[in-house]
Structure 1
Amino acid sequence: MQFDDQLLRYFGTTDLAAIPSEALAPGAERMRVDLGMERDKGRRFALWALLFMLGAAPDLDIAFPDPADRDAARDFMDLADRADPD
């Protein structure tokens, strides 16, 4: 699963900064539907991570039934928080 491919699939562009604001909500909703249907753990995590970066990720207990996957998501959230200069 390539980041650029996911941006193109859900938002019609590979440039995150070029996504029109009106395309964010419908693209994120399509991603949430795909997240709910995806069974591969790695692909689920990638979809959730992109949704998290867009501020549209579902709660961890909904996205990840496995406690280990929830822990990995929390680690990702911590890393993303530390990387944010704000």
Structure 2
Amino acid sequence: MDFDDQMRRYFGTADLASLTPAQLAGGQERLAVEFGLETDPGRRFAMWALMYIMGCAPDLDVAFKDAAEQNAARDFMDLFGGQSEAPQ
């Protein structure tokens, strides 16, 4: 999944600065709904990464049941510059 494609799919544009707060919230809601329905691990991870970047990602234990996927998400968080959860 290409980042710009994800932005257009959920928000109607790749330019977040052009969105109103209502449009941003609507896109985040569409993204969360599709994330909950998605079964492909790679697509789920891409969706979660976008939600993380936007500050609306579910907690790792909710988003990923598999420990390896949780660890990959922690690695992404570290690389992105965020703070990962404490190891379990």
Aligned-pair CA distance for 1:68: 0.3
Once the two structures are TM-superposed, the CA of residue 12 in structure 1 deviates from its matched residue by 0.9
CA RMSD of aligned residues (A): 1.2
What residue in structure 1 maps to residue 85 of structure 2?
none
Looking at structure 1, the residues matched to 22 and 10 of structure 2 have their Cα atoms a distance apart, in angstroms, of 13
Match of 1:76 in 2: 76
2:42 is the counterpart of 1:42? yes
Structure 1: segments with no counterpart, 5+ residues:
none
- Give SS of 1:31's match: helix
Structure 1 residue 6: Cα displacement: 1.0
**1:17 offset after TM fit, Å?**
2.7
Partner Cα distance (1:10, 1:22) in 2: 13
Structure 2 length-normalised TM: 0.86
1:49 deviation in Å?
Answer: 0.2
Question: Aligned residue pairs: how many?
Answer: 82
Q: What are the equivalent positions in structure 2 for 1:57-68 lying under 5 Å apart?
A: 57-68=57-68
Q: Which deviates more, 32-41 or 16-25?
A: 16-25
For residues 76 and 17 of structure 2, the distance between their equivalents in structure 1, rounded to whole angstroms, comes to 22
Identity of aligned residues (%): 59
TM-score by length of 1: 0.87
The aligned residue for residue 8 of structure 1 is 8
